[in-house]
Amino acid sequence: MTSFMKLGNAHGRFKGIRPVLYFSRLHNRDLFTTSKVQLSNNSNETFEDSTYKGLFYHLTNDMTNYLLSFISDPSKVARNEIAIIGWVAAHEKVPKLKLQSFKENKKFEKFLHQVIADNVATADLQLQALAKYQKDGWLNIADARDPPPWGRIPFPEDIFGVVQVRNGKIVPGTYQSMPTHRILTSKGLFILSDPLHRKLLEKLNEICQ
């Protein structure tokens, strides 16, 4: 069960294993279209998740859903739909993130993969170290919410995508998202590495000004 107060979240290590699944190329169209939503004016209707620091639930004006977002200011969330990770049904006074009551936002999902694509080659020193170790091939960009034992391939829903490695270095512009990745699973919401998560927050704050 999920309660609501400030607590930290853990990030796991990434696995440099050749992918075995189909992947899709990114398209940079329609990632930044805006859409206004109606949120409650009551500041008491915004909650922070205790098990994922920096994750917020904003109650909609009709009190039917919570908007899930990394942005704490509901007025900023209301100005751009990309800031909405997904919708959580408001069945209870205190929201709980469950598979059966969650619907992901496809615009945010495309935005997430674009941020990874733009920063994967330079932002994460751990990924660069894995690329150096692997030398050549394709490197999995793994979701840290359910890290497998070292040397094992993550579950399909826990691989954000893959990136090409050549001579021990990540090749810029080669990131390809995995259609099997899921924003939310029974193990929880997706978890990026700290460097990529910071890049995600930077871009979200930039577009939500």
State what percent of residues in the chain have pLDDT above 70: 79
Residue 18 has pLDDT above 60, yes or no: no
> How far is the C-alpha of 209 from the C-alpha of 78, rounded, in Å?
11
Neighbours of 6 (CB within 10 A): 9
pLDDT at 28: 41
pLDDT per position as a tens digit, 99-136: 999 999 999 999 999 999 999 999 999 999 999 999 99
171 pLDDT above the threshold of 50 = yes
Task: Express each pLDDT in 141-152 by its tens digit.
Answer: 999 999 988 888
Distance from C-alpha of 89 to C-alpha of 64, rounded to nearest angstrom: 6
Q: Which residues contact 155 (CB under 8 A, 6 or more apart)?
A: 146, 148
pLDDT band at 33 (very low <50, low <70, confident <90, very high): very low
Dist. CA 54–CA 115, nearest whole Å: 18
Is it the case that residue 41 has pLDDT exceeding 80?
Answer: no
